[in-house]
Structure 1
Amino acid sequence: MHKYFIAATLLASATTPLQAASEAAKKFGARDEIQQISLSPDGKRFVAVVADAGRGYRAMVFTIVAETPPVTVLASNGDKEHLDYCQWSDNSRLICGFSVVTGGVRDMLGFNRIVTLGADGKDLKLLSARTSMDASGPMQNGGRIIDWQGNAEGSTVLMTRQFLATTSTGALLAVENPGMGVEQVDPVTLRRQTVEKPRSTAREYIADGQGHVRIMGLQPTTGEGYSGTRTLYQYRKPGVSTWLPLSTVTRDSQSGQGFDPYAVDPALNVTYGFDVQDGRRALFKIALDGSLKRDLVFARPDVDVDGLIQVGRQHRVVGATYATDKRQVEFFDPELKKLGASLAKALPKTPLVRFVDASADESKLLLWTGSDIDSGGYALFDKKTRRLDGLLRSRPPLDGVTLAPVKAITFPAADGTQIPAYLTLPVGSTGKNIPAIVMPHGGPSARDEWGFDWLAQFFAARGYAVLQPNYRGSAGYGDSWFSENGFKAWRTAIGDVNDGGRWLVKEGIAAPSTLAIVGWSYGGYAALQSPVLDPTLFKAIVAIAPVTDLDTLRHEHDTYMDYNLVDAFIGKGPHVRQGSPAQNADKITVPVLMFHGDLDQNVGIGESRLMANRLRAAGKKVELVEFKGLAHSLDDSEARTTLLDRSDMFLRATMGIQ
């Protein structure tokens, strides 16, 4: 059996401190070793997408019972090419997805492709449709598997396809309408059959796990060719080809409004999806028999219900998930509800349990378990034997390292609102008068959760207290908390972030002279924008892949179909200039360190370059570290190690920390 669990006594007694910054940076900067994992239908093997020491990934097939070494069947070097996932088509064949970025900073173009190959690494074939030499443009979307059992025998899959118009000698050919359709594809023979004709406005299809497409999402475009803000969902009754209206979802500057379908249960003949109830996201089901009878499945009075729990090759809906102080699961399936309670008792030190995959008969379940002080790992549970066996650890370099507990707290904002947050204190510290960091999350339509965080844990290991606030503008707490989002309502969001820093000082946790702010993406924006409201609060700023100019961010989407959505999210008015760090560089009075990948498609590297230039022009101290060939997540162990090491040295030098 592959090594996974370390005895709880060993974890509890590990006392090896990380003294050298470079050693700590290397351990914490190493990427999560398992990007994705999948169990074979018979439950005898699993495939894992495993990180290498740099930025590449390997797909490795492991045999569970036999003591045979794993086999590497596919790899990517991470240089503009990324291996995203591998799933089992059947017990002997895999289907894997790649994403590729071409071009440079000014002409980046993203593609994805799906391939199929044997579980022995042989017989590699392109599963995505090949493009014609006469195609009118590039086929960026190589498709997505929407059903792993495309027929009764389970020998085919259903996958979306982007159909392109073709040209000949400069004239547009009269071919079927371009757009997204669905094909039934045999992964062995590559025989493909269109089961849903392409539609120019189609953006989504949902199948029932038994080879039938039951729901379609249409998103009409504007006169300028951009995506509209409404998605029109239609459905089919069982065995009927006619499409009927289901719901309309409007996505504007705030969260979506209207029933948003996510899955179909063919046995109950319903679709599960999310809609807003009493200002918070809740889970509903709607009958697909023509009645459209709608029932509330699960809701919370305090937070959004934000996810479905699905298991098996049919992606059977078995529960819902939400986050209060910690991530919680509400099971609808009685057997899994009982199992979840048993696992919680059996694994008290790793209370976070996630069902990742299952064998075809669901007798074997692939799980991930972890906690705030355990970066986690994967295990296999056999229902018949009631045995739980460990498979792989998520972050082997951290095994044996004592991590810092994370505590859910609240602190008061200036207007008295209690802001939920997470506080991590260095192991063995008094928690008083120590260096401290406020670390706002990205998004802004996201939130921090209780659990392991490599960035926060690194700084805690280096002696900093870390506060992660879920400021107003964060997702997960309902529409009123999200408000107009953290860009339009930046004064509120950034005010909450700054109030977190003031709370650290007031509570005696932070020494006022060693209080810093560190953030990634929107968090980087918050770090750079914080001095606009209080120039003297933070003594050093670290911003990773930050938004620095709202109008620049808007126009980065000029040539993308989502321009209208981004435009509405940012909005128009005085806040665009007032809420842009690059337009307020003169307000920054402390040194700034920035990091950015030059292939970032979320926030262009030009934003960090603009910010650096504005700061230099204003006579400020700034350093920008650029990473070649990396995207927004800086998915490279060496780059992340550099980021951690240089950030720590920068903070210590700037704030005089020994």
Structure 2
Amino acid sequence: MSCRSRIFDFSALAGLLAALLLPASIQAQEQPPLEAFAMRPIILDVDLSPSGENLAVVRLPGQGENYVIQVFETADMSAAPYTLGSDTMDIIGINWANDERLLVRTRQPVEVPGRRVGYNTPGIGQPGRVKTYAYKLLSVGFDGGRWVELPSKSNIARFVSETVVQRLASPNVVHRLPDEDDWVLISWFGSNDVGTEIFRVNIEDGRSESLLQLSSSYFDYRFDYDGDLRIRSVVARNENRIYMQYRLKDETEWNEWLSFDVDDRRPLSVLGFVPGEPNQVYVLTAQNRDTDGIFLYDMTAPDAEAELLFAIDRYDAGNVVTACISWACIDGEEDPRLVGFYFVGDAPQIYYIDEEAELLQRSIDAALPPGNFNSIHDRAADDKFIVIQSTGPSEPGRYYLLTDKQQLQLIGRTTAVEPEQIGDSRVVWYEARDGMMLNAVLTLPPSGEPPYPTIANPHGGPQSRDSLHWNSSYWDEWPHLLASRGYAVLQPNFRGSTGFGYDYFAAGDRQWGYRMQDDVDDGMQFLVEQGIADPERMAIFGWSYGGYSAMVGAMREPNIYKCSIAGAGVSSMELIEKEEWNYRFREMFQRTRGGLSPIANMDDVNIPILLVHGDRDLIVPIRHSDLFALELERRGKPFRYEKLIDAAHTVDTLGFDHNMQFYTAMFDFLDNDCGF
């Protein structure tokens, strides 16, 4: 945890970036190297200090290295920054605790005794040691002084082993106390039995005290601006419902409030408290609509009808937008007025209700390339400094510093890939075989003529969705990687996807491998009919649920695909129910998932398949791919298997070497086993 030299040496990246950061006119004629896609994001996080005097940037010093934190003086960004970090510290995020100290989230690989037989152990079905990641929260001065672990180990020793085995739990900052500059509130989920404990922690020395402990029946707790716990959700397993409890400001009694039946699956989410109105909250819910809207609720009149503030047809609402960023809103340091509503249509959008905020957004948009989503990522208390994040269908991401709402300065880019190298993305709608209209994202190669070799890329979840937005994660990078190699890529938002209303979502109930899979195939047939996809050169590739879909895609008859690539896929419905759905209240939603189990239909595999899986995966343990590979081998089916050592389920745990191994194997597989 040492503080490195204040002078930061970029020589490790110089050779690679010299090749990658060529002028766009030259780059557009060349295919970006795999290394450009395999690198973790060059900039992972950017955060302004509360006063705006300093800017912290989590930056990648070189391929295969861990992130470091650079702290710049905003008044002179050309001055050498402080650099914090070490070769053994894997930094994954930051926040300012106050103007002097940073909160740093880190991750480290661990092995603990296995508590589930064969969970992700080397021998299938044998007990052993579970490989996963443990997460820590640290505090440090912005100049690199006094690293402190939060909370201290003595407070949480009884939690650690259970936590890392059962879930990727970690300490989480839930409130920066406005009247106590050196203290924060941290939550720690211990285990199914222990539940969640809230600590009050000193960021200077790690001292902590336990404020309250919530059993596993409680979750989604909400604190108001003063740091008081005001709302919590409760799982009533015997009644098959989830309800909220609230208490009025300065009162201790808990009152039952909003509830929903699990079978209906129309959940409620408290987005935040209304500034100046401590008993009013913004709530995201559908009520009697198909799509989610944002409502204003008054807890002093719990039986009164809520006021609908924002809703649109076809797409769910997302969140409220205020004139400040969360930390400063909590502290009362900025103007917390409501200025608009965020939602994701074809791409992320903000509907403004405040003229001043809309004018600022227009001025930012006018200064940057058209077609991107330019969001205020962070801002100082007086708006002298504002951090802008710009992303788009073919823009991986750039960060800018806006000074005095006039001077715009590039902080850096998240990747070395140029927009001209990765092609164009658009939204398409197509009709499924049963008449349901479905949304999808289509990415075309930057060169060449149709019909293209085409890959179906169903998303994970499956309670998720794809849109025209690149958020610097590999989930969004994969279609562009494939497009840069000449492939068209379809990301279908099959039934069961979220963001398009309740009917769209509920249509996927217990349709794994059935209608949800038909939707993927129907999207590909649509592209064939449009002259975009070559029917003789089509494949399917996905991760997590998408990996499951790729496994099922290898079993279709007649099969429209020549090969399948299944990453971290669910091969056994029976296993995943035991491994995942017994965690907290989630077994109550198990009824929504059901369908074809790939491991029970191995004889139907009729195309080559590439399996990819990380051995630290606790969400879909590697046992799923191990068993699938074993059954393929027994039957003499053509397959390859790439195990990613020390990678977990989420793609942010895939480092440069993992990605190079994966991408090299994938394109070799497409070229040789698929016959493309």
- TM normalised by structure 1 equals 0.86
Structure 1 partner of 2:185: 158
| Residue 484 of structure 2 corresponds to residue 473 of structure 1 | no
Within 5 Å, give how 1:363-378 maps onto structure 2: 363-378=384-399
After TM superposition, give the deviation of residue 235 of structure 1 in Å: 2.3
CA distance in 2, matches of 1:393, 1:535: 45
The 8 Å contact of residues 304 and 322 in structure 1, kept in 2 or not, is answered as yes
Question: Residues 33 and 494 of structure 1: is their aligned pair in 2 closer, same or farther, counting only changes over 3 Å?
Answer: same
Report the AA paired with residue 602 of structure 2.
Answer: A
Among 79, 82, 85, the residue aligned to 2:93: 85
Residue 497 of structure 1 deviates from its aligned partner by 0.4
Residue 61 of structure 1: aligned partner: 71
The aligned residue for residue 605 of structure 2 is 588
Closer/same/farther in 2, CA of residues 355 and 472 from structure 1, 3 Å limit? same
Flag structure 1 segments of 5+ consecutive residues without an equivalent: 4-9, 166-176, 223-227
Q: Aligned in 2, Cα 1:546/1:136: closer, same or farther, shift over 3 Å?
A: closer
SS at the partner of 2:312? coil
Aligned equivalents of 2:345, 2:98: Cα separation in 1: 38
Deviation for aligned residue 1:27: 1.3
2:627 counterpart SS class: helix
Structure 1 pair 250–188 and aligned structure 2 pair: CA distance change class (3 A) = farther
Cα distance change, pair 399–15 in 1 and its aligned pair in 2 (3 A): closer
- 2:314 matched to which residue of 1? 302
User: Which of 87, 93, 106 is the aligned partner of 1:98?
Assistant: 106
**Structure 1 residue 442: Cα displacement:** 1.1
> C-alpha separation between the residues in 2 aligned to 1:462 and 1:391?
29
CA contact (8 A) 1:55 1:77 kept: no
What letter is aligned with 2:179?
A
Pair 1:341-2:358 in alignment:
no
Question: Which residue is 1:36 aligned to?
Answer: 45
Q: 1:327 to 1:554 in 2, by over 3 A?
A: same
Cα distance in 2, alignment partners of residues 535 and 62 from structure 1: 59
1:611 aligns with 2:606: no
Question: Which amino acid in 2 is paired with 1:353?
Answer: N
SS at match of 1:450: coil
- Give 1:240's aligned residue: 251
Query: Which residue pairs with 1:394 in the alignment?
Result: 414
Separation of aligned partners in 1, 2:590 and 2:268: 23
**Displacement of 1:645:** 2.2
CA pair 389-550 structure 1, distance change in 2 beyond 3 A = same
Residue type of the alignment partner of 2:523:
G
**Alignment correspondent of 1:281:** 292
Question: Which deviates further from its counterpart, 187-196 or 117-126?
Answer: 187-196
Query: Deviation at 1:532?
Result: 3.7
- Equivalents in 1 of 2:156, 2:248: separation in Å? 39
Q: Cα RMSD over matched residues?
A: 3.1
**Structure 1 CA distance, aligned partners of 2:488 and 2:156?**
58
Q: Distance in 2 between matches of 1:602 and 1:40?
A: 35
Deviates more, 1:104-113 or 1:646-655: 104-113
Aligned pair in 2 of structure 1 residues 102, 248: CA closer, same or farther (>3 Å)? farther
- SS of the residue corresponding to residue 490 of structure 1 reads coil
The within-5 A match list for 1:491-570 is 491-557=514-580, 560-562=583-585, 564-565=587-588, 567-570=590-593
Higher relative contact order (CA 8 A, sep 6+): 1
2:316 touches 2:501 (CA, 8 Å); kept in 1?
yes
> Aligned letter for 1:475?
T
3-state SS, counterpart of residue 218 of structure 1: strand
| Pairing 1:641–2:660 present | yes
Which residue identity lines up with residue 368 of structure 1 in the other structure? Q
1:436 corresponds, among 440, 454, 471, to: 454
Aligned mate of 2:141, from 93, 118, 127: 118
Q: Distance in 2 between matches of 1:402 and 1:134?
A: 50
CA offset digits 1:43-88 (Å, max 9, x no partner):
122222334522633233233332222333234757xxx5332111
Give the superposition deviation at 1:116. 0.9
- Is residue 144 of structure 1 aligned with residue 172 of structure 2? yes
Residue identity matched to 1:29: A
Deviations 1:373-409 (A, max 9, x none): 2211111223x443322212111x2147532011211
Q: Which string of whole-angstrom CA distances, capped at 9 and with x for unpartnered residues, describes residues 243-287 of structure 1?
A: 3333224545x7x42432131123133211211141221111212
For residue 210 of structure 1, what is the aligned residue in structure 2? 226
- Supply the distance in 2 between the matched residues of 1:194 and 1:643 (Cα, whole angstroms): 44
Give the conservation status (yes or no) of the 8 Å contact 1:11–1:402.
Answer: no
Partner of 2:166: none
* d(CA) in 2 for partners of 1:354, 1:584: 46
1: CA distance, partners of 2:191 / 2:521: 50
Aligned partner of 1:370: which letter?
T
Q: Secondary structure at the residue paired with 2:286?
A: strand
Structure-2 separation of matches of 1:196 and 1:204: 14
Structure 1 residues 490, 282: CA separation in 2 closer, same or farther (over 3 Å shift)?
farther
Return the letter of the residue paired with 1:156: W
* CA distance 1:92–1:440, shift in 2 (3 Å): same
Give the Å deviation of 1:332: 4.2
Q: How many residues align?
A: 616
1:14 Cα deviation after fit: 4.7
2:145 and 2:209 mapped to 1: Cα distance? 25
1:488 is paired with a residue of what secondary structure? coil
Residues 39, 358 of structure 1: 8 Å contact kept:
yes
Q: How far does residue 591 in structure 1 lie from its aligned partner after superposition?
A: 0.9
Moved more, 599-608 or 130-139: 130-139
Q: How does 1:354-365 map to 2 (within 5 A)?
A: 354-365=375-386
Whole-angstrom CA distance in 2 between matches of 1:448 and 1:368 = 19
Higher mean alpha-carbon deviation, 507-516 vs 66-75, is at 66-75
- Work out whether residues 389 and 400 of structure 2, in 8 Å CA contact, stay in contact via their aligned partners in 1: yes
Q: Give a deviation string over 1:479-517, Cα, whole Å, max 9, x none.
A: 111125365353111001011222222222222221111
Q: CA deviation at 1:340?
A: 1.8
